[in-house]
Chains A and B, each alone.
Chain A
Amino acid sequence: MAAAQSLEVQEKRELVGKEEKTVPARYFIPATDIHETDEALTVVMEVPGVEKKDVDINLENNVIRIEGRIDAKKYDGLEPLYTEYNVGHFARSFTLSGKVDQQRIDAQLEDGVLTLTLWKAKDALPRRIEIG
């Protein structure tokens, strides 16, 4: 089991986007796991500090773009003394393959972890063929 292993610090990667931002805010690339089962693809991404209402998931031209914004107001009145990580919004996009049913995508946010379930299209499901 991997649980006994001691956890190492992951440096946050900053997003270098194709499009430029008009506001001076930083975006980071959330650490993401992708798993596949027979029925669905699961995308799990870490977006600490992002509330449910601040998550945007957009699907356009087979590209799913996930954006999570943090609330900078929470840091009002706090004067930094010592820092080890930078704070910013999160964004990442993935190109979907044709086997995903684009009408059926579920999203869940818990403890700063966003889980997307991309259900596979009916005709992409594996079929067992009986020998007649």
Chain B
Amino acid sequence: MAMVFADPFSTLFQFQQALDSLRTSGWLDPGPSGGGAYPPVNVFRKGDDIVIVAEVPGVPKSDLRIEAKGKTIRIAGTKSLATGEKASTHRRERLAGTFDRAVTVPVEVDADRIKAECRDGILALWLPRAERDRPKTISVS
């Protein structure tokens, strides 16, 4: 039966279902290198290109370092918690520290055209597929 109520929730719902099924499937194992490291990433495909999204709340742009070489993207940085002096702590759940992670994607990437954006604690990297790696259409004569 089709669900009739409208978006944006249905979009989100579908997305979550897709995530769940992927989590439980063994597909793409071993996957991008460095699994389980901070920050956790989600990798998407948009057309021919790859999009990497990571949650890095509390990390300002200036504390992030992104490097790319070949198929590997390095995401490094520092997350610090600003606490005023003389403050006593009631609850501490947030973590601070340094992170350094490499993610290898399964396609050749054009390193010069990678775009990175960090907004509201979400880091998004657009990795355009290298021209030489794009599939070619072969016409049948």
Contacts and interface: CB of A to CB of B under 8 A. Distances in A.
A85 B95 contact: no
Contact of A7 (B16, B43, B95): B95
A32 B94 contact: yes
B13 to A, nearest CB: 5
A50 B55 CA distance: 11
B121 interface: yes
B136 interface: no
B105 to A, nearest CB: 9
B12 A80 contact: no
A46 interface: yes
A84 B16 contact: no
B78 interface: yes
Contact of A8 (B46, B57, B80, B97): B97
Interface of B: 5, 7-13, 15-16, 18-20, 22-23, 28, 31-32, 35-46, 50-51, 55-60, 78-81, 83-84, 86-100, 118, 120-122
Contacts of A32: 91, 93-94
A82 B95 contact: no
Contacts of A111: 56-60, 118, 120-121
Interface residues of A, number: 51
A8 B95 contact: yes
Give the top 3 A-B pairs by smallest Cβ distance, nearest first: A112-B121, A48-B121, A112-B57
A94 to B, nearest CB: 10
Contacts of B39: 9
Contact of A83 (B43, B59, B84, B93): B43
- Most chain A CB within 10 A, of B8, B19, B46, B118, is at B8
Interface string A1-28: 0111111111000000000000111100
Q: For A23, A47, A71, A85, which residue has the most chain B Cβ atoms within 10 angstroms?
A: A85
Nearest to B122: A49
A37 interface: yes
Contact of A9 (B7, B37, B59, B60): B37
